[in-house]
Amino acid sequence: MYDVYGTPEELQQFSDAIEEWDISSLDKLPDYMRVCYQALLDVFSKAEEEMVKEGGLTYGFDHAKNAFKRTVRHYHQEAKWCHVGYFPKFEEYMGVACLSAGMAMLSITSFVLMGNVATKEAFEWTSKDPLNLRAVAEIGRLGNDIVGHENERKRAHVPSAVECFMQQYGVPKEIAYESLQNRLTNAWKDMNQECLNPTAVPRRLLTNVYNFSCATNLLYEDYDGYTISSTRTKERITSILIDPILV
């Protein structure tokens, strides 16, 4: 179990360090966590420095950091569940696991270096848990769980959406798959609704969130292309970036 998540004490230390978001927290962490924490601080620090040099506004970084902190809190909750063998109810699981999937956090972080198009009002909008950020989170989580839960069961891991649904409603996995696919379809409808309807948020930002959803859909099409990335996922990336078809 600990080789997946670390000890509860170590996880609490990392969670506390993320909340503080300061280099002074580095010495409080185990060696293997320091690498990740240092890299995280460096990425944000260098990006903020570049933004200042270019005369850009840096208010978005606070929102991105808060989104990252929120994600880590939910990582920590999952780890505590795993440590004690807790089996959450389906909606309880979704409330935590959709955010631990990281898609909402990545969407918000992607706005930071988009210049004037990412206004202060747009970042404030992200803090209100808008429909399309909830949708991208569900698309990422359900897509992952539907195709990846069998493989995840081979190691210490919290129950997936599939297992939580099966246990709570006493149904076989085929019924769970069908129900979760319906929920996934509804999440896509929410995403499309947000992109089609007039909104105060610039369309370029909405397009970023939509593109994250599309990338997730591609990764989890029929199999877990994120975890098992050395086959079809590698081939797709190679065909786009290394061996593109030029017309």
**Separation CA 76–CA 179 (nearest Å):** 28
Mean pLDDT score, 64-91: 93
Residue type, 180: L
Residue 209: which H helix or E strand, with range? Answer: helix 203-219
Degrees, nearest 5: CA angle 116-140-207:
30
| Most distant CA pair in the chain, distance | 58
Domain boundaries, the chain: 2-234
**Token digits of residue 114:** 């988009």
**Separation CA 227–CA 223 (nearest Å):** 9
Sign of the alpha-carbon torsion through 119, 104, 30, 84: positive
pLDDT in tens, 178-233: 999 999 999 999 999 988 876 778 899 999 999 999 988 888 887 676 776 777 77
> Residue 198's pLDDT is what?
66
State residue 245 phi and psi, 5-degree precision: -90, 115
CATH superfamily of 2-234: Farnesyl Diphosphate Synthase (1.10.600.10)
pLDDT in tens, 97-127: 999 999 999 999 999 988 888 999 999 999 9
